[in-house]
Amino acid sequence: MTMTRNTLRTPTLLLAPALLMTAMLALSACGGPPDDDQAGVRPVRVQVIGEDEGITSRRFVGRVDAVSTVDLSFQVGGRITELPVQQGAVVTSGGLIAALDPADFRLAVREAEVQLEQARRDLARNRTLLERGTVSPSAFDQAQTQHDLAEVALDNARRNLSYARITAPFDALITRRLVDRYTNVQPNTTVVRVQNVTELRVHINVPEHLVRISDESSLFNVTAHFSQHPDMHFPLTYREHETEPDAVTQTYQVSFGMPRPENFNVLPGMTVTVEIRTRDALENAVVQVPVGALDMQADGSFRVWIYDEESGTVSPRDIDVGQLGLDQAAIVSGLAPGDVIVTAGTVFLRDGMRVRPFEKY
């Protein structure tokens, strides 16, 4: 029986120091006991709920790319007489990139025009003779065929003349000039390599839970930030995503469109920081507050203590708590930007109690 009584007393003896230690920690969190010149006014730690408390953000390192890369060539052969582009320059859509000597192509067009005119006269003459019955239908058909072939030859000559010029099919960044002016080139020989920079593409790799940006892009605010211009933010628009994950990182590549900046040069291959911000509608949380700000009530619900700067007093407010982390709690409802809450020592507070924010430990 004696052994039994000692066993029952042991938890009580161990619990007393624990309670004492808890009380000491609580007093330390609140800045210690009140000063003598402010007796009855308890110091507390406070926090102002800001406008951006309801935003969750992630940052990724991205890579700038062009919409596409294309090798341009002539579809006919000849000697290059115009090559006005420089590597690194942007040629607007429809601008001249290169041109061949057009003399031979113009002569071919003139020759085809003469042959067509002759075939047109022969066809008219044979039609008159056919009506008079002095020429056979087969002879008229042959004249008709020669006329049609002459038309085709003229169309082909005119097309070849147009092929003697290369114009930009889009806003083209000249990445490489592969031949020089006055070079004789064969058909389909690559002359320049260009990139479509009508808009820029930004690629990032994201974990699987963020791939839903492809279906819920309206819930995300995605911006690009360049290190050389940290004060400038460029909005990004979702374009596409890969459906096969990276074999090593198990992440998915997501591509965004970005308008080409006018005030500074952004080139494909550059790195960029991409920030993805999600509003409270996505995470079902309005604000994030320290766990120390939560005060659990007898029924298991939570409340926080609101500090009134004018009266210097606190009052309780019921809240709905969402996800509870190790040091932060997501508040679904009950708080708004501008509210001032007590973040430590809430267990000692009561409605209407006078307190003072402390500025240092």
CB distance 275 to 53 below 8 Å: no
Question: Nearest-CA neighbor of 66 among 260, 222, 234?
Answer: 260
Alpha-carbon distance of 153 to 130, in angstroms, equals 26
Domains 27-53+284-357 and 57-68+200-281 are alike in CATH topology? no
Q: What is the pLDDT of residue 213?
A: 72
For 112-175, the DSSP string reads: HHHHHHHHHHHHHHHHHHHHHT-S-HHHHHHHHHHHHHHHHHHHHHHHHHHHTEEE-SSSEEEE
Q: What is the pLDDT of residue 325?
A: 66
The CATH code belonging to domain 71-196 is 2.40.50.100
What digits encode the pLDDT tens for the residues 19-46?
Answer: 344 444 444 444 444 443 445 688 888 8
CB distance 342 to 307 below 8 Å: yes
Give the other-Cβ count within 10 Å of 147's Cβ: 19
Alpha-carbon distance of 44 to 340, in angstroms, equals 12
Model pTM? Answer: 0.58
Q: Tell me how many degrees the CA angle 127-133-139 measures, rounded to the nearest 5.
A: 55
Q: Compute the CA torsion angle 317, 322, 324, 325 (nearest 10 deg).
A: -120
Q: Work out whether the CA dihedral 289, 292, 298, 300 comes out positive or negative.
A: positive
Contacts of 228 (CB under 8 A, 6+ apart): 264
Question: Is residue 335 helix, strand or coil?
Answer: coil
What digits encode the pLDDT tens for the residues 245-261?
Answer: 888 888 999 999 999 88
Fold of 57-68+200-281: Elongation Factor Tu (Ef-tu); domain 3 (2.40.30)
- Total number of residues shown for the chain: 361
Strands ordered across the beta sheet of 90-91: 69-73, 190-196, 172-177, 90-91
**Paired tokens of 117:** 């005119």
How many Cα neighbours within 13 Å face the side chain of 337?
Answer: 7
CB distance 348 to 315 below 8 Å: no
Q: Tell me how many degrees the CA angle 177-179-184 measures, rounded to the nearest 5.
A: 150
CB distance 78 to 161 below 8 Å: no
SS (H, E, C) 198-242: CCEEEEEEECHHHHHHHCCHHHEEEEEEECCEEEEEEECEEEEEC
The full set of domain ranges for the chain reads 27-53+284-357, 57-68+200-281, 71-196
Report phi then psi at 170, rounded to 5. -160, 180
CB distance 57 to 278 below 8 Å: yes
With a cut of 70, list the residues of the chain below it in pLDDT: 1-40, 50-56, 216-217, 278-286, 323, 325-326, 359-361
Fold of 27-53+284-357: 2.40.420
Give the other-Cβ count within 10 Å of 108's Cβ: 17
